[in-house]
Amino acid sequence: MSKVRVFADAPRRRRPTTRLASPLAPLPRPTGRHTSAELELWAGDSDAARRIVAAPLAHVETTQVAFYTAPLVALGVRAEADRARRSKARQGTGEVAEAEAVACALTERLDSQLAAFTAGSPPPESTAYRAQVDAELARLRGAPDAAAWSAARERWEHLAYPFHAAYCGWREVAALLESDCDRSRLEPPVARGARYGV
């Protein structure tokens, strides 16, 4: 399945859950923003992605619905990680600190939403995004964590989200390469990536 097809199918997959949440508040459907922000990140424009993510997060500030905010938070933290790594390459320590502060604030917001969830367990998609956030935070701090990416990937695989699993698997391999690990450790994640066409 191509990345474009996965993006195109996302709104149809999530639309029924949007109706379930409607009694809480007139919520936006963030899928379009989510897709636009992700495309900007793949294009290398983390600043544009940050701006796209900010608007819907502000809109749902009072509703605290983790299902809607989790993917946006994950993208926001990813954008801050990209921003921090780009800044480190230019030796811009001030921007790195600002990126980490923003990412931590986003993470704390999602944590509070997940902790306040009262209708049983939080949606599994939300907890998978939270696992992905942990891996992005490590990347932001200059210490890519292959184990964190592996944990996030396994969650997405269990939920049958191939694009999300492929992204985490790609980051897992990158983290292993940065850690200068034994090359034999690369074989399983690389083989998994081949199944996703990455």
Q: Are 92 and 83 in contact (CB under 8 A)?
A: no
Rounded average pLDDT over 106-110? 93
> Which residue, 95, 172, 170, is CA-closest to 138?
172
- As a whole number, the mean pLDDT across the chain is 78
pLDDT reported for residue 3: 44
Question: Diameter of the chain by CA atoms?
Answer: 53
Backbone φ and ψ of 91, nearest 5°? 60, 40
Cα 133 from Cα 70, distance rounded (Å) = 9
- Point out the least confidently predicted range of 11-15, 79-83, 121-125, 162-166: 11-15
The beta strand positions in 48-191, using DSSP E, are none
Domain locations in the chain?
3-143, 144-198
Residues 45-91 have pLDDT tens digits of 999 999 888 877 776 654 457 778 899 999 999 999 999 999 887 87
- Point out the least confidently predicted range of 52-56, 99-103, 147-151: 52-56
- At residue 129 the predicted structure's pLDDT band, cuts being 50, 70 and 90, is very high
Count of C-beta atoms within a 10 Å radius of residue 59: 16
